[in-house]
Amino acid sequence: MSYRDVTVHTGNDHETESLSDSGQALGFVEEAIEVSAEEEGSRADVVLSDRLGLSRSFVQRLIKEGAVSCTLKSSMKPSYKVRSGEVLAVKIPPPRPSDIVPEPVDFSVVYEDDQIVVVNKPAGVVVHPSPGHWRGTLVHGLLHRFPDIGSINDVIRPGIVHRLDGTTSGLMVVARNSKSLISLQESFQRRKVDKIYLAMAYGRPIVEKITVNAPIGRDDKNRYRMAVIFDGKEACTDIQPLWNRSPYSFVSCKLHTGRTHQIRVHMRHLGAPLLGDSLYGFKVKKRGLPEDMLNNRVFLHAWKLTIPHPSTGVDISFRSVLPKDLIYPLREILSSKGGLH
């Protein structure tokens, strides 16, 4: 048996979907890791590297700098042999790309050239390392398939200029060199990028096009959640109904800004939270409904992406079809067996 306890320290309370700021790194994180019986007698740097998914050189540096302590020893060396049951306390600063161990990750490549890569991210894959997700992120997979991306900049998100939530699937563009990174950052900042999502809402029927202009900021009642607040950051979303079968509405959402959880927040604001989005008010009232097919994901998919190419400035567009885990509940809703009214 083993456990991990995580504490996060960050000053970034309003991270937007577009990660174009120069300071992209997270704040430091404190982890408490209990040594298992199977790990007894192993080197401390080996155990921490394996449990955290970080390179041994990075872990060794943390130990030498005094960022690691344990219950049985006030100071330690990387070669310290750990004992079952003792707890290793680690203060982790944001790792650099060179500190992240590349590994295969499940995602497909829609397009690539020597400037950019456009990927189709499945739901369940987190974009970059974060508390509870030190391994198996999109960044790990990108560094495995495109090692050159790791040389772009000394931050935790090499080449990443925008992101998708872990429960969201669909298209993302990644820069392959510094020049392309700067160009893409400017395109996002100047709102030259078009992003359209497909979503399924539950509740208030969406029967006509709605433009939601409602500022977004951190929810005072739940700091894991964002909310529409009067002093938040500007946020604008166009919501277009594709079809409606009360209480379900299948919609497309075009973002004009890139706030954290923007579509999810604006749909909740309308009284139509996204299917499966328990964080923003969706509740399953009966078992066996289409939403049970989602397997703990949100019905939100990044469908279309249009960007000016960093080299030519010419717009290029991409589409991603709905994944199977969204097609199944969609078919159930459309079928006569879906229990619709």
- Supply the residues annotated as catalytic: 165
User: Residue 126 in 3-state DSSP?
Assistant: coil
Neighbouring CB atoms inside 10 A of 246's CB total: 12
CA-CA-CA-CA torsion sign (31, 36, 40, 42):
negative
Strand order in the sheet with 87-92: 4-8, 29-34, 87-92, 68-70
Q: CA torsion 155→158→162→166, rounded to 10°?
A: -90
Contacts of 190 (CB under 8 A, 6+ apart): none
Rg of the chain over CA atoms, in angstroms?
22
The secondary structure of residue 16, as a DSSP letter, is B
Identity at 50, one-letter amino acid code: D
d(CA 83, CA 88): 10
For 152-180, letters b (16+ CB in 10 Å) and e give: bbebbbbbbbbbbbbbbbbbbbbbbbeeb
Type of residue found at 124: G
CA atoms within 13 A of residue 163's CA, in its CB half-sphere: 23
Q: Output the six-digit token pair for 318.
A: 């991409």
Task: Please tell me what DSSP assigns to residue 138.
Answer: H
- CA dist., res. 140 & res. 138, Å (int): 5
> Token digits for 248?
């379900």
**Other C-beta atoms lying within 10 Å of the C-beta of residue 116:** 23
Question: In a 3-state reduction of DSSP, which class is residue 71?
Answer: coil
